[in-house]
Amino acid sequence: VMVVSRAAQRRISFYVSANLKTWRYTGNFGPAGDTSGVWECPDLFALPVANRPGETRWVLKVDVQQQQPDTGGGGQVFIGRFNGRTFRASSLHPQSLDLGEDYYASASWSDLPAGGPPVITLGWMDNWLYAQRTPTAPWRGVMAFPRRLSLRWQNGAYHLLQRPIAALARLRGAPRSLGAFTAARGRTLL
pLDDT the model gives residue 91: 94
pLDDT in tens, 62-103: 999 875 555 556 899 999 999 999 999 999 999 999 887 788
Mapped to the 3 state alphabet, what secondary structure does the chain carry? CEEEEEHHHCEEEEEECCCCCCCEEEEEECCCCCCCCEEEEEEEEEEEECCCCCCEEEEEEEEEECCCCCCCEEEEEEEEEECCCCEEECCCCCEECCCCCCCEEEEEECCCCCCCCCEEEEEECCCCCCHHHCCCCCCCCCECCCEEEEEEEECCEEEEEEEECHHHHHHCCCCCCCCCCCCCCCCCCC
Q: With cut-offs at 50, 70 and 90, classify the pLDDT of residue 189.
A: low
pLDDT in tens, 42-65: 999 999 999 999 999 999 999 998
Q: With cut-offs at 50, 70 and 90, classify the pLDDT of residue 113.
A: low
Looking at the chain, the whole-number percentage of residues with pLDDT higher than 70 is: 92
**What global pTM score does this model have?**
0.87
Q: With cut-offs at 50, 70 and 90, classify the pLDDT of residue 116.
A: low
Which domains are seen in the chain, by residue range? 32-167 (2.115.10.20)
Q: Is the bond preceding 94 in cis, omega lying within 30 degrees of 0? A: no
